[in-house]
Chains A and B, each alone.
Chain A
Amino acid sequence: MAAAARLVLRTASGAKVLRAGLGWLGAPIRVPHAAAHFTFHPDPVPTRHGPTQKMNLFQSITSALDNTLSSDPTAVIFGEDVAFGGVFRCTVGLRDKYGKDRVFNTPLCEQGIVGFGIGVAVAGATAIAEIQFADYIFPAFDQIVNEAAKYRYRSGNMFDCGNLTIRAPWGCVGHGSLYHSQSPEAFFAHCPGIKVVIPRSPVQAKGLLLSCIADKNPCIFFEPKILYRAAVEQVPTEPYLIPLSQAEVLQEGSDVTLVAWGTQVHVMKEVAAMAQEKLGVSCEVIDLQTILPWDTETVCKSVVKTGRLLISHEAPVTGGFAAEISSTVQEECFLNLEAPIARVCGYDTPFPHIFEPFYIPDKWKCFDAVKRMINY
C-alpha cells in the first residue's frame, strides 16, 4: 500500500517535471517572481563592540532605537503606526518598555510629521521620525529642504535641528511597484545641510543609525526594505558608532572599482566574484554608506589605483547619484582613467508595476559593463 503510494507520488512529481520541460520547449510558462536578484552575504562577526546576537535588519534597528531610548532621556520616536511596532517591525516592544509618551503614533501627515520633528529637535529633544515608505517622503520635502537643512545656516548657528533623524524604508522589494520601491536619495543629495545615509546590513545599520542620531546635523536614514528579513548577522547588543562620510572598502582589487550602496552592494559582491571567475579581473568593491556628504577621497584613491569605475543604483540613471560621483571622479582622476566611467542604474521610467525584474540593474547588466570597460 505504502509502496503503491510512493510510486504514485514519484509519477506525480515525474509528470510535473515533464510538464515543466514541455513548458520550456512549448508554450510559455509563467515564471514565478519569487527569486531575489541578490544573495545576502553576512559580514564577519564584529569583535570590537562586545557580545553579539543574531539579528536581522529590522531587529538591529530596534536594538539601536532601544539603546538610544535608554541612554537619552529626551529621545522620542514617532511616525505612522510605530506604536504597535511599525509595518516593518522596527519599533516592536519599545512602547511597552519606554512608555506611550516616548513612542507614539502620528496621524497620516508626512509634512506634519517632519515639521513637528524639526520643532522637537530645535527645542532640544532627540527626535526620531519615521516615514512609512521613502515614496511618501515628498509631502515632507519642503520641510526637509527648506526648514531642516537651512536652520543652522539661516540663524547664524543660534538654532539647529541636529537632533532630528528621519528613517524611511527604501528601495525595491520585488513587488512594490510605483509607490513602494523608490530610492529618492538623489533628491536629497542636492541639499546642503542634511546628511543622507544608507546601510547595507544589520551591523552597519545599527552603527550608522546610532551615528546619525548622535550627529549634530539632521540626518535621513534610508533602510533597504528588501533586507529587513533577508539580512541576518551577528550584531553587537551594546551601542557602537560607525563613522559617517567614510566609505568602506569591502574587497580590495586592482582592475575595476565597483561603487554601490544599500542592497546593490550585495549585487556588486556577486559581480566581483563573477568577474574574477570568468574574466580574471580583480574588482575593488566600495560601499559608499553616506550619500551626503560622500567620501570622495576613498573613491578617488581607488580609481587612481584601478583606472576603471562602475557605479550602480536602482534609482533612474539621469540625475541619479552616480552622476555626481562620475563627475567628481573624472575631475579628480581624469588622467588615471582607462575607460569611461560606467553607470548601471534603473531606467528613466517610474518604477514599473510588472517589469521590475527587467528594470533593476542586476548582476548581469553590471557584469556586462565591467566586460566593456576591460575591453575598452
Chain B
Amino acid sequence: MRKMLTIISNVLRASTKKNGARVVVSSRSYADFTPQASFDIKGCDLHRLEEGPAQQAVLTREEGLQYYRTLQMMRRMELKADQLYKQKIIRGFCHLYDGQEACAVGIEAGINPTDHLITAYRAHGYTLTRGGTVREIMAELTGRRGGIAKGKGGSMHMYTKNFYGGNGIVGAQVPLGAGVALACKYQGRNELCVTLYGDGAANQGQIFETYNMASLWKLPCIFICENNKYGMGTSVERAAASTDYYKRGDFIPGLRVDGMDVLCVREATKFAADHCRAGKGPILMELQTYRYHGHSMSDPGVSYRTREEIQEVRSKSDPISMLKERMLSNNMTNVEELKEIDVEVRKEIEDAAQFATTDPEPPLEELCNHLFSNDQPLEVRGTHPWTKLKSVS
C-alpha cells in the first residue's frame, strides 16, 4: 500500500515538475481566482471642479482579462506594423501607438459603444477598440481591398461605426468632434462624443474656437488631450506657453489623468461621461502618456529624447506590465492564463499580417469611386480630356 502511494506520489511529483502549474490549474477550477479586487489609483489634478473621479477602482477578473487581451493585441499589432513597414510591405506614413494603449482601452471602458469618438492620426488603437478587426486594420495599412477603408485611406484614415477616424491634418478633427456632440444633443439619445487631440495640436487656433462653441452651447463633448510629451520632435516645454493642457480650456472644467494606468483612465472617463450626460456641458481631460516609437516610422525617436528615458518609462510605467502585476499579485489570474492569451493574440496577429500581405490591391476602378454621392455614375476627367473615368457612389 505504502509502495503504491509512493509510486503514485512520485508520478504526480514528476508530472508536476514537468508541466508544473498547468497540472495544478487543471485540477483547480477558475473559481479559485479572485473574482474582483479594488485598487487604489492616482488622484487627478482638477481645474474648476469641486471633486474628481474616485480614487479607488474595482476590477473584475473578466474585465481584467479583457483589458489585458486588448492591450496586448494593440501592442503586438503595432509591433507587427513596425516590422511590415521595415520590410516595405507597408509604405507611406505609419504612426504607432505602442506605449499609449491604456488610453484607448481605458476610454472605451468608460463609454458606451453607442457613443462617438474621433481622434487624430495615431489611430490604430482606437480603430481596434471601436470595433475594427486586426485583419481589416492591417490590410488598410498595406492598402488592400480587405482594408477597413477599402485600401483608399491608409494608416491615418480608418473608420468604423461611431468612430470618425483617423484625421491627417493636425487639430482639424476637434471642431468635427464638437459637431458630432451637437448632433448627439440634438437627437436626444443620451450619447456623447469623445474628441481626442495631442499636445502639439493643443496650440492650434481651431481648438480654442471649439472650446468656446462647445461651452457656449453646452455640448456633450469630452475633449481629451493625449499628452505624450513630444509633438513630433518638439518637447512640450518648447512648444507651449502653458503645459497644463487640462487648464487650457479655461472656462471648461478639466482634469489631468495618469494615462499609463488603464483603471485611472477608465474612472476618469466615466466621471467625464457622467458630467456630460448630466447636461453640464463639455469637459477636458489631459492624459499623461508616452509613446515608445518615434512620431512616425521615419523618426527614430531618439534625437530629441534619450534612450534612457524611453527605457525608464518602459520599465516603470508600461500599461501592460502594470495591469499584469496588479492581477497576478491579487490572484486574479496566473502566468499560464496570460500566456495563453498571448499565444492567441500572436496567432491572430500573424493571420492578419498574412492576410494583409496577400490580399489583392483595390481594382483601378476604385481610383475615382466615392468622390461624390451620385445616382448615376459620374464622369471624372482624367489626365487628358479624351479619357474619362467612371465614378460610382
Contacts and interface: CB of A to CB of B under 8 A. Distances in A.
A354 B371 contact: no
A167 interface: no
Contact of A347 (B204, B366, B382): B382
Interface in A127-155: 135-136, 138-139
Interface in B81-100: 88, 91-93
A151 B205 CA distance: 22
Contacts of A177: 92-93, 154
Contacts of B360: 28
Contacts of B238: 105
Interface string A146-184: 000000000000000000000000000001111110000
Interface in B216-269: 231-234, 238-240
Contacts of B168: 178-179
B171 interface: yes
Given A33-B91, A369-B384, A372-B386, 16 more contacts: A28-B360, A80-B234, A108-B200, A139-B206, A175-B92, A175-B93, A317-B385, A342-B384, A343-B385, A347-B383, A348-B371, A349-B368, A354-B154, A358-B364, A358-B367, A365-B383
B386 A349 contact: no
Q: Which of B143, B157, B385 has the most CB of A within 10 A?
A: B385
B12 interface: no
A256 interface: no
A105 B234 contact: yes
Contacts of B157: 178, 353
Contact of A349 (B204, B232, B239, B367): B367
29 contacts: A28-B360, A32-B88, A33-B91, A84-B233, A107-B231, A109-B203, A109-B204, A109-B205, A112-B203, A135-B169, A136-B169, A136-B170, A139-B204, A178-B154, A178-B157, A178-B168, A179-B168, A179-B169, A180-B93, A317-B385, A342-B385, A344-B383, A345-B384, A347-B367, A347-B383, A347-B389, A353-B152, A365-B384, A368-B384
A349 B380 contact: yes
Which A-B residue pairs are the 9 nearest by beta carbons?
Answer: A107-B203, A354-B143, A179-B168, A353-B154, A108-B200, A355-B367, A175-B92, A107-B239, A361-B383
Contacts of A342: 384-385
B276 interface: no
A346 interface: yes
Contacts of B368: 347-349
Q: Which of A108, A138, A343 has the most CB of B within 10 A?
A: A108
Nearest to B154: A353
Contacts of A136: 169-170
Interface in B327-382: 360-362, 364, 366-368, 371, 380-382
A111 interface: yes
A176 B362 CA distance: 18
A182 B233 CA distance: 23
Contacts of A33: 91
Interface of B: 88, 91-93, 143, 151-154, 156-157, 168-171, 200-201, 203-206, 231-234, 238-240, 303, 360-362, 364, 366-368, 371, 380-386, 389
A318 interface: yes
B151 A353 contact: yes
A352 interface: yes
Contacts of B233: 81, 84
Nearest to A342: B384
B92 A176 contact: yes
Contacts of B91: 33, 175
A359 interface: yes
B95 to A, nearest CB: 12
A354 B151 contact: yes
Nearest to A179: B168
A366 B91 CA distance: 28
A247 to B, nearest CB: 22
A351 to B, nearest CB: 11
